[in-house]
Amino acid sequence: GGTGYKGRMAIHEALYFTKEIRQIIVRSGVEVDEEKIRIQAKKDGSKSLRDSGIEKVMLGLTSIEEVLASTTEE
C-alpha cells in the first residue's frame, strides 16, 4: 500500500446503559427513538464509531480516508 500503516486496527463504539438511556427506552414503548438515545449517549460521554476513528487519525495511527470509508456520519 505505501501508506506507512501496518496491519489492522479496530475502532470501537459502546453504548453505556445509563439510567437516562434506560428511561428513554422504557418511555418510548414500541417505537424506540434512536435519535434521543444517540443524543443522550453523547451527553453521557459516549463516542461514535467515527469519533473513535478520528481519534486514531489524530494519533497518526490511520488515515482520514480509511475512517470515512469505514464509518457513517451520525
Per-residue pLDDT 10s for the chain (74 aa) are 566 667 788 888 889 999 999 999 999 888 988 999 999 999 999 999 999 999 999 999 999 999 999 998 86
**Distance between CA atoms of 8 and 1, rounded to whole angstroms?**
13
Cell of 10: 479496530
**Whole-angstrom distance between the N-terminal and C-terminal Cα of the chain?**
29
Name the residue with cell 505505501.
2
Rounded Cα distance, 37 and 17, in Å: 10
Residue pair 5/67 in contact (Cβ under 8 Å)? The answer is no
Stated pTM of the model = 0.69
Q: How many beta carbons lie within 10 A of that of residue 57, not counting itself? A: 15
